[in-house]
Amino acid sequence: MKRPVRIAVTGAAGSISHSLLFRIAAGEMVGRDQPVILQLIEVPRAMEPLRGIAMELEDCAFPLLHSISMHDRFEDGVVGAHYVLLIGARPRGPGMERSELITANAPVFAGQGRAINEFANRDVKVLVVGNPANTNALIASRNAPDLSPAQFTALTRLDHNRTRGILANHTGANPRGIRRISVWGNHSSTQFPDLGHATIYGEPALAQVDEHWYREQFIRKIQRRGAAIIEARGHSSAASAAQAILNHMYDWINGTPENDWVSMGIVSDGSYGIEKGIFYSFPVRCDYGRYQIVQGLEISDFARDRMRETERELLEEMQTVAELLPEDTEASHRNLSVCLRSGITLYDDGISLPEQYLQTDRVL
């Protein structure tokens, strides 16, 4: 048996986590031979329901589930974590503007970034799911001065999967036969699901669908899918979000398949002319537990306009939370090549013997 890895999850008693935790414990996030320790984090009033979930996890007798701990203080829950899933967030209330949601959640993510910086494993990988996911990832990352911005990501894989699933259904193709989808920008209604480089069974996707349908209906459908699910179901997407979280983390850790890529919200290094330092969804390939933006894609004028629109929204969001972005982390976020230059390979679990890290010079 391998040594277990520590996975910290906030919002652990919420809807997404209910679809997620059991699958993590079954080995679907890190690997089917990797034991896990679940460090479940909730607000104090949700600790009792959380205890019930922990009991159910225990009752599943998952061979890979080493142990479970429960925390109502984030600082305790994140100690030694190799993976942190920031799912818990204040939901958008009735009549609440997006900007109000941003300011309500921002201080929480600043505190979580500081705690991850202080207590998590030095090689930690962080995924922000709680909305507004891109800007919350920016806040957390900017408040973690000792970690690389490349260790923080925001979930746009659900949008990527939606694009793939809905295109598959429309064309009658198996989703497996659809490759090279790109979701650009913000996890919001300005996101741009781009079929410009996508293929269906190896042939260009745009040659196989009606262009008017793609431009006028398909893009809007993906952008508004979350709202459509809330309208139909009365609750926001939880099972599909859990699936996307598993896909995002699995690919980040284990690598993307050959001939394909995935979409991840990551700090922009200026690729495709996108402003450096914001968390923007790009097409990426993963290997060695790292990701790299797919380079050299041709961008049409149609695509460029949409990429700019969602970039503008992210820049505005950044302005809204400007006072929570410490100046001393601005340079590292705007000059990513420096941050990515030296890698740290996990050697110990980071709690007892932090000096025993193996340093490498891998350049990605």
Q: Rule CB under 6 A: is residue 189 a binding residue for ligand NAX?
A: no
Does position 238 bind ligand NAX by CB under 6 A? yes
Determine if 263 is a binding residue for ligand NAX (CB under 6 A): no
**Beta strand pairing call for 182-184 and 203-204:** unpaired
The pair of three-digit structure tokens given for residue 52, joined into one six-digit string: 């019930």
Rounded to whole angstroms, what are the CA distances from 185 to 100, 119, 189, 255, 306? Answer: 20, 30, 10, 22, 9
For residue 191, how many other CB atoms are within 10 A of its CB?
Answer: 26
Under the binding rule (CB under 6 A), the answer on residue 187 touching ligand NAX is yes
**x-or-dash pattern for ligand NAX, window 16-35, by CB under 6 A?**
x-------------------
8-state DSSP, 217:
I
CB-CB contact of 193 with 180 (8 Å): no
CB 185 within 8 A of CB 307: yes
Which of 274, 121, 112, 286 has the alpha carbon at shortest distance from 192? 274
- Whether 187 is a known active-site residue: answer yes
Which range, of 6-14, 190-198, 272-280, 344-352, touches ligand NAX by CB under 6 A? Answer: 6-14
| Annotated binding residues for NAD(+) | 11-17, 105, 112, 129-131
Q: How many Cβ atoms are within 10 Å of 201's Cβ, its own excluded?
A: 13
Closest approach of ligand NAX to the CB of residue 238, in Å: 5
Instruction: Indicate the residue among 14 and 343 with the shorter CB distance to ligand NAX.
Output: 14
Known binding positions for substrate: 92, 98, 131, 162
The binder of ligand NAX chosen from 23, 26, 27, 43 (CB under 6 A): 43
51 vs 304, beta carbon nearer ligand NAX: 51
Residue 306 near ligand NAX by CB under 6 A? no
Tell me if residue 221 falls in helix, strand or coil: helix
- CB 360 to ligand NAX: min, Å: 31
* Residue from 5, 38, 40, 42 binding ligand NAX (CB under 6 A): 42
- CA of residue 329 relative to chain centroid, distance: 21
46 binds ligand NAX (CB under 6 A): yes
Measured from the CB atom, the residue of 11 and 185 that comes closer to ligand NAX is: 11
Question: CA-CA distances (angstroms) from residue 251 to 64, 194, 245, 291?
Answer: 19, 20, 10, 9
Binding site for ligand NAX (CB under 6 A): 10-11, 13-16, 41-43, 46, 87-91, 108, 129-131, 133, 155, 158, 187, 226, 236-238, 241
Active centre residues (catalytic):
187
